[in-house]
């Protein structure tokens, strides 16, 4: 294989999501020292020379490549964990990363059953020697705190009974609050309704809200991302999961300095956690929203064993 062809193959193996292990083994294992030097000279985006003319990896690419190698490990670890431990660790990690990852707190609190959320809270307590509610109350310093604590503390009724009159009144309450404006994410009644009512009841509230306002509730919450995520996760989780930035991937010819790690982490998190829950619905929603096939999209943007593992998990829903 010509040096330029090798350089192109290696660049593709390093780019996107995950790494193409077979290509790396096939090419790198046969290299002579001169070929390694040629690769370094021929890929200035990967390697730089400092003021002493010392030739070395670009630090940002070292970090990027290490993260890409770890993606398969992360997906496998998430898949093999007990769901309660998995959710507890995801909650802990999201709190550590800060406000950009608070959507994961909403995701877990609002898409799990009452028993699953209780199990995650128990696991969190066992793993970290304090409650997740305590951690949120102490670590979150944004207006989202009240909503997050309430959602994570909830134990929702999951039976079939819905009081339609109360649902209609609560739809009106939410509509009035939105019309009034203000700090909606801290509104006592909105937080109470979203954090305590059953999902069937909230679907009735959602329906009545549309009748009252002419708009869908999540549409009217576009400016309040944490409430919008909460409504989507409670009412139409497949819509939420289909939009977890899967459509934002753009492949480049080389490693991307400005790659969105939140986007990449979302793919690694969502596929293992939803594979046995609602993956078929997520695929359908993704196709409806973006006119693309989700497995084909992952086939296009991901590499190697990481890609193959994700596709295997997605196929479980067929």
Q: Give phi and psi for 56, each to the nearest 5.
A: -150, 165
Write down the pTM of the prediction. 0.88
Q: Rounded to whole angstroms, how far apart are CA atoms 224 and 152?
A: 19
**Residue 316 vs residues 50, 108, 154, 287: alpha-carbon distances, Å:** 49, 21, 30, 18
Query: CB of 285 within 8 A of CB of 238?
Result: yes
Average pLDDT over all residues of the chain: 88
**Residue 311 vs residues 65, 251, 269: alpha-carbon distances, Å:** 21, 18, 14
Rounded mean pLDDT, 292-317: 90
The pLDDT value given to residue 27: 86
- Tokens 């997050």, residue located: 148
Q: Give phi and psi for 222, each to the nearest 5.
A: -55, -35
* pLDDT for residue 318 is more than 80: no
Tell me the CA end-to-end span of the chain in Å, nearest whole number.
40
The pLDDT value given to residue 253: 26
CB atoms inside a 10 Å sphere around CB 228: 20
The pLDDT value given to residue 283: 92
Query: CB of 133 within 8 A of CB of 149?
Result: yes
Which domains are delineated in the chain?
A: 156-235 (1.10.220.10)
The pLDDT value given to residue 2: 57
Q: What is the pLDDT of residues 156-168, one digit of tens each?
A: 999 999 999 999 9
- pLDDT band for 179, please (50, 70, 90 cuts): very high
- Tokens 């046969």, residue located: 30
| C-alpha 178, offset from chain centre | 28
The pLDDT value given to residue 300: 84
Query: CB of 309 within 8 A of CB of 72?
Result: yes
* pLDDT for residue 46 is more than 90: no
* pLDDT for residue 188 is more than 60: yes
Q: Rounded to whole angstroms, how far apart are CA atoms 65 and 17?
A: 10
| C-alpha 173, offset from chain centre | 31
Q: What is the pLDDT of residues 100-139, one digit of tens each?
A: 899 999 999 999 999 999 999 999 999 999 999 999 999 9
**Torsion sign over Cα 191, 192, 195, 200:** negative
Q: Rounded to whole angstroms, how far apart are CA atoms 206 and 243?
A: 20
The pLDDT value given to residue 40: 78
Alpha helical stretches, state H, 15-58: 21-28, 33-42
Highest mean pLDDT among 44-48, 226-230, 252-256, 281-285: 226-230
Q: What is the pLDDT of residues 249-279, one digit of tens each?
A: 322 222 233 446 777 788 899 999 999 999 9
Both tokens assigned to 281: 């619905």
Q: Rounded to whole angstroms, how far apart are CA atoms 305 and 311?
A: 10
Rounded mean pLDDT, 82-100: 96
* pLDDT for residue 50 is more than 80: no
Query: CB of 205 within 8 A of CB of 171?
Result: yes
The pLDDT value given to residue 247: 40
Spatial neighbors of 233 by CB under 8 A, at least 6 apart, are: 106, 107, 109, 110, 111, 240
**Residue 46 vs residues 7, 230, 255: alpha-carbon distances, Å:** 11, 41, 8
**Range with the poorest average pLDDT among 61-75, 187-201, 267-281:** 61-75
């Amino acid at each position: 294989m010509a040096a330029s062809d090798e350089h192109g193959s290696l660049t593709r193996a390093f780019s996107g999501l995950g790494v193409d292990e077979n290509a790396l083994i096939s090419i790198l294992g046969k290299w002579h020292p001169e070929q390694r030097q040629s690769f370094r000279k021929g890929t200035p985006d990967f390697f730089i020379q400092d003021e002493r003319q010392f030739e070395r990896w670009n630090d940002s690419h070292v970090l990027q490549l290490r993260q890409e190698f770890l993606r398969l490990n992360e997906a496998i670890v998430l898949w093999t964990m007990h769901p309660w431990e998995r959710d507890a660790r995801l909650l802990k990690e999201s709190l550590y990363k800060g406000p950009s990852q608070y959507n994961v707190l909403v995701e877990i609190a609002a898409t799990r059953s009452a028993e699953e959320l209780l199990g995650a809270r128990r696991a969190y307590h066992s793993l970290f020697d304090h409650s997740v509610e305590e951690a949120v109350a102490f670590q979150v310093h944004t207006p989202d705190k009240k909503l997050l604590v309430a959602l994570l503390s909830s134990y929702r009724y999951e039976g079939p009974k819905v009081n339609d009159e109360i649902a209609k009144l609560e739809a009106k309450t939410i509509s009035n609050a939105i019309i009034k404006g203000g700090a909606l994410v801290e509104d006592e009644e909105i937080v109470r309704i979203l954090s305590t009512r059953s999902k069937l009841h909230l679907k009735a509230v959602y329906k009545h809200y549309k009748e009252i306002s002419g708009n869908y509730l999540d549409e009217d919450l576009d400016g309040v991302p944490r409430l919008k995520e909460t409504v989507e996760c409670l009412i139409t989780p497949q819509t939420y999961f289909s939009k977890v930035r899967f459509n934002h991937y753009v492949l480049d010819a080389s490693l991307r300095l400005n790659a969105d790690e939140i986007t990449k982490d979302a793919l690694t998190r969502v596929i293992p956690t939803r594979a046995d829950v609602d993956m078929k619905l997520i695929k359908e929603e993704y196709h409806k929203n973006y006119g693309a096939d989700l497995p084909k999209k992952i086939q296009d943007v991901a590499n190697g064993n990481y890609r193959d593992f994700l596709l295997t998990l997605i196929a479980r829903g067929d």
